[in-house]
Structure 1
């Protein structure tokens, strides 16, 4: 392995974990190269920049990253503040990625296509650890390039591989065919996507905080456009499980989400379907289901 120590460590993904890894490697004087498929670092966070997170700044800033930023004279945000996705990018991730110690080693618009071991077939295990990794990367402006690296950190995440709506972890019948009517993630229903959702029948599938945030925003849209109808589809048998700790939650803002969504349900602002398993999706949002 000593023969590979002059090679960089490759980081796949320029999100929060990838940038934190880059900061830790920098502090340890270990060379690295980072590949991010998006146009900027934390491209996925920028897709939900309108959302305010429930964890304060102090839980979102990596220690090694803070050390590098402080050395560069960074104007740190209030540790107790609750940032939006936009503020996370503007005030933390963008300054971090622009540090002179990181910037030359970060490649955006660069998608990793494959990773293997130099001169080693997939079925050959003997001596693999002695050979460097070989990465095939497609750069938008430069085409395909190959890189030899000593190790690979996979920080690509799962944001671009959302769970299917169908039960059992598979796509529901008709889900792919109706994909133009489905948005996976946290849509900006009060901003650029307002026209898509106002005065419409909207189904939100899932019981996580992304779903709760979306329903709360849709309710604000409903206040402005009363013909907006919100349907909430959950697999859980007990709706109380979705509300979380509320006043007892260790994170006050997260607990507040549970309080808000319970109030909306109690006020009949949301049509709740639970437990509900989606088997088929037809045009005009007709859902064929099996109750359990």
Structure 2
């Protein structure tokens, strides 16, 4: 039997070779891709929707990661930073998101060769091929990508690219509150009463929660972190109550376990268990939300619970239901995605959350991340689709392999390795690398 290598390849033409690689997102993985491309002298531009690099990490900057510094720094980025005198201090300590930005990501984004290529405040609206939609095949691999952007001043333009690395993450596209996965009926009625995941309960968002009935929806570690902050707030602010609403019969992902591979994660689960046992957190389990109503200054969540239609009233809702990839921007790109988790089809079996934890994901690179669209790659948290087992270390190895392939270095691109630390660096719900310690 003859084996045919179906791995997509970019056919370089004089036109393509003069164009930059577009990186979507200036978070940890996008900046890592920039550092690797810079090392290989490949021209690139980074589009970041936020006002600054790592804007999504800054949004949950008050949260401490599970992982120590030594597992959070990309090798190529470290080499670049060390040329300007940067050094990794306290490698065994787990930083907060704010520290990750201030002490690593912001200096990296400010490095010569990267800073001038980041365009902040720019939203990528869509990706296609220049002059052709997804149905046209002839000369597709030799036609530049057209990346449609909305600049900070509102101007819309198409930027041509030789390749596209989508490292936009999932933080900006949370799952809806409804158990069906569809937009919650009545969501607009209560929009001003709903907070995104990982609010700064004890800091900038304190006034929003103090003295109010707060309901956290979701069964992941972002939910657990918020619940514990609310318990502290309730001790300090009279009238603050904390309810944990989950769809399942119990929150497996935040339950403490003696054999948990992450000590910090197990500790988090133990703290939540104890808070529930003391009555500091009221658990409403088996609640499948179907719609919402506005009642004066309160929200009513209506759902099925143990065969009955019930209503839960609250003043503030925290949506900690996890995240999903924004695929609407990729409608004109030929993708090969798994039907269930929406990850690249060859990657999906390696990250299936029903089989794998973050510590058992196999190394993977450009082959597993390839799509029928030559030169297009989804990397980082977004590459995992709806699977909640992403590691920063995994993302760094992804972009190392992808950029090697773009450089034509097939040996390096194919030599994919991933050393998983015993203490892990995984994220359990998409907000970041093992955040919520």
For this structure pair, what is the TM-score category when the shorter chain's length is used for normalisation? over 0.9
CA deviation digits over 1:226-268, x for unaligned, max 9? 32111100112234x1334544322222111001000001111
1:180 and 1:188 map into 2 onto residues whose CA distance is 17
Residue number among 296, 299, 306 corresponding to 1:285 in the alignment = 299
Q: TM-score normalised to the size of structure 2?
A: 0.64
Tell me: CA distance 1:21–1:255, structure 2 relative to 1, closer, same or farther (3 Å): same
2:242 and 2:127 map into 1 onto residues whose CA distance is 44
Residue number among 226, 232, 243 corresponding to 1:214 in the alignment = 226
Aligned twin of 1:45: 57
SS of alignment partner, residue 73 of structure 1: coil
2:124 and 2:214 map into 1 onto residues whose CA distance is 36
- What are structure 1's unaligned runs of at least 5 residues? none
SS of alignment partner, residue 95 of structure 1: helix
1:189 and 1:47 map into 2 onto residues whose CA distance is 12
CA deviation digits over 1:17-70, x for unaligned, max 9? 111111111122211110001100111111111111111112221121111112
Query: How many correspondences in the alignment?
Result: 291
1:22 and 1:243 map into 2 onto residues whose CA distance is 35
Q: How does 1:1-292 map to 2 (within 5 A)?
A: 1-3=11-13, 4-141=16-153, 143-239=155-251, 241-283=252-294, 284-292=298-306
2:20 and 2:204 map into 1 onto residues whose CA distance is 41
Tell me: CA distance 1:216–1:245, structure 2 relative to 1, closer, same or farther (3 Å): closer
Tell me: CA distance 1:242–1:134, structure 2 relative to 1, closer, same or farther (3 Å): closer
Q: Note the aligned Cα RMSD (angstroms).
A: 1.5
SS of alignment partner, residue 190 of structure 1: coil
2:67 and 2:168 map into 1 onto residues whose CA distance is 22
Cα deviation, residue 171, structure 1: 2.3
Tell me: CA distance 1:251–1:289, structure 2 relative to 1, closer, same or farther (3 Å): same
CA contact (8 A) 1:9 1:33 kept: yes
SS of alignment partner, residue 177 of structure 1: helix
CA contact (8 A) 2:219 2:253 kept: yes
Q: TM-score normalised to the size of structure 1?
A: 0.95
Structure 1 window deviating more from structure 2 (161-170 vs 131-140): it is: 131-140
